[in-house]
């Protein structure tokens, strides 16, 4: 599953640490989500979308192999 | 970082400082028997068995504290890593129990039953190892 968190952070001049503190996770978790090593829970994805004032579907995108 | 926002079910874990207590217990459980052996202290067979059980249990307690203490910051990712580590630990423990007698046979060592303490030390050690490795690769 792809995501555009890095782009959204850059738009708002936000560091990984800033985003992590706002949503209550560690900076490592944010890094893992951005590098697609960890898929966040629904709650976390919704929180991220709310921080960036956008929809979940605009940040996270399913890929073909997610359906396997 | 707001610790209060950390995931709620970490209430089941020991506080973070228990890692240091656990490490201390592990050092004690290893250092004292090694020192006794090095100093060639004389003990009876009964005392030897008692101390063996005692120090194994201290080692198990130390490993348990290290394994089951919170990280400085726990969140959903660390919980998922813990669950994966428990799964891997269970699998490797099953294989260890099944294949250890076979390895003993191959090495022509006496085939003995594994004690519960030996299995528990193995499982705790494996859990800590898997957890640390997965956290590093996350």
Instruction: Name the stretches of chain A with pLDDT < 50.
Output: none
Instruction: Name the stretches of chain B with pLDDT < 50.
Output: 1-7
Task: Find all residues with CB under 8 Å of A59, minimum gap 6, and list them.
Answer: A3, A4, A5, A8, A45, A48, A49, A52
- DSSP-assigned beta bridge partners for residue B69: B14
Nearest CA distance, B20 vs chain A (angstrom): 22
For testing the chain B interface, which of A28, A42, A47 should be mutated: the one with the most B CBs within 10 Å?
A28
pLDDT at position B37 is 82
Among chain B residues, CA nearest to A24: B5
Of B107, B77, B94, the C-alpha closest to A31 is B77
pLDDT at position B1 is 44
Distance between CA atoms of residues B78 and A14, nearest Å: 23
Neighbours of A61 (CB within 10 A): 11
Distance between CA atoms of residues A59 and A56, nearest Å: 5
pLDDT at position B2 is 47
pTM assigned to the model:
0.85
Distance between CA atoms of residues B24 and B37, nearest Å: 20
pLDDT at position A1 is 86
pLDDT at position B102 is 87
Distance between CA atoms of residues B93 and B91, nearest Å: 5
Nearest CA distance, A11 vs chain B (angstrom): 23
């Amino acid at each position: 599953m792809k995501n555009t968190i890095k782009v959204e952070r850059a738009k708002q001049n936000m560091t990984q640490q800033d985003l992590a503190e706002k949503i209550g996770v560690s900076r490592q978790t944010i890094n893992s989500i951005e590098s697609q090593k960890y898929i966040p829970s629904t709650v976390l994805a919704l929180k991220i979308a709310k921080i960036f004032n956008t929809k979940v579907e605009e940040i996270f995108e399913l890929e073909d192999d997610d359906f396997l | 970082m707001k610790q209060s926002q950390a995931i709620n079910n970490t209430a089941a874990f020991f506080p973070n400082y228990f890692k240091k207590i656990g490490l201390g217990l592990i050092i004690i459980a290893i250092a004292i028997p090694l020192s006794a052996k090095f100093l060639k202290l004389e003990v009876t067979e009964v005392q030897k068995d008692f101390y063996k059980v005692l120090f194994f249990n201290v080692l198990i307690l130390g490993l348990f504290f290290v394994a089951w203490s919170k990280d400085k910051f726990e969140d959903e990712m660390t919980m998922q890593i813990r669950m994966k580590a428990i799964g891997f630990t269970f699998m490797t423990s099953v294989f260890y129990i099944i294949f250890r007698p076979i390895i003993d046979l191959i090495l022509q060592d006496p085939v003995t039953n594994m004690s519960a303490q030996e299995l528990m030390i193995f499982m705790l050690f494996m859990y800590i190892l898997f957890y640390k490795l997965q956290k590093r690769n996350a």
